[in-house]
Amino acid sequence: MSQRPALNIPDAPPSDRGPAPMTRAGFRHGMRLALPVMPGMMAIALATGAAGVRAGLSFGENLVMCITMFASASQLVVLEIWPDHFSPGIVLGLTLIALTVNARMLLITATLRPWMGGMPPWIYPVLHLTSDPSWIVATRYRNDGGSDAGVFFGASVLLASFWLCFTQLGFLLGSLVADPRRWGIDLVMPVFFGAMLVPLWRGRRAALPWVVAGAVALAVQQLFGGLLYIVAGAVAGAVTGGLMDDRRD
């Protein structure tokens, strides 16, 4: 959605006053803070790896996808509609769907700029390892007054490594978890993202874009089927959030 997350992050010093500190102690602390997230992430990773088996990917192809995309939601969506044959139009469609599902990462990483904007450019590629859980862990630490950027990178590196290990394990054990509903894994994703919305709550009025996005997505899914509802819901929520921001300004 285009609505800006309300994180209540204390204003960080402008980037021209020097970069945020990043220490080994902070890195280790971030890893410790990420530990409670790992059981839920394990279930999602296993399901994503198993989805690669159903899509007919090889072990290497599945590994490359997990490294380059590093996004469970978009991977699961794309693998669900993975075709037997490709054309430029199909590749474009899959790309647009993945970008739509991952559009939230633009907002997530934008919220990190007041904290990390003064850091050297060589550190920016590590932002590829940003995930919803590592962002939430770092945001809560930042809200509590912390400033060590090592916490964010520690959580991100640990969860990314954990993700890669268990997606590949899920691929190898695909015959056991090929049907996520058998193990209740299909519930992990909606439960996790539902919980993720809690720190973004800013009151009933601010929830309107969420409601519009959900209603439009449900209507389009019922009327047309397929995965068009993902794009339709995202666009509807973004437009609603943009209009609300304009009126407030």
The answer to whether residues 174 and 209 belong to one domain is: no
Three-state DSSP class for 2? coil
Range of the domain at 32: 15-201
- Of the pLDDT bands very low, low, confident and very high (cuts 50, 70, 90), residue 118 is confident
**Does the pLDDT of residue 189 top 80, yes or no?**
no
* Residue 1 burial (CB count, 10 A): 22
Count of the separate structural domains present in the chain: 2
Question: Which residues fall within 8 angstroms of residue 165, CB to CB, at 6 or more apart?
Answer: 45
**Does the pLDDT of residue 206 top 80, yes or no?**
no
Span 186-207, mean pLDDT?
64
Span 184-208, mean pLDDT?
65
The answer to whether residues 170 and 231 belong to one domain is: no
Give the C-alpha separation, 49 to 198, whole Å. Answer: 28
pLDDT digits (tens, 9 = 90+) for 132-181: 889 989 988 998 888 899 999 999 999 999 999 999 998 988 766 556 56
The answer to whether residues 103 and 189 belong to one domain is: yes
**Does the pLDDT of residue 7 top 50, yes or no?**
no
The answer to whether residues 166 and 141 belong to one domain is: yes
166 or 13: whose pLDDT is higher?
166
Asked if residue 1 belongs to a domain, the reply is no
52 by Cβ neighbours in 10 Å (0-12 / 13-18 / 19+) ranks as buried
The answer to whether residues 175 and 221 belong to one domain is: no
The answer to whether residues 82 and 171 belong to one domain is: yes
The answer to whether residues 117 and 156 belong to one domain is: yes
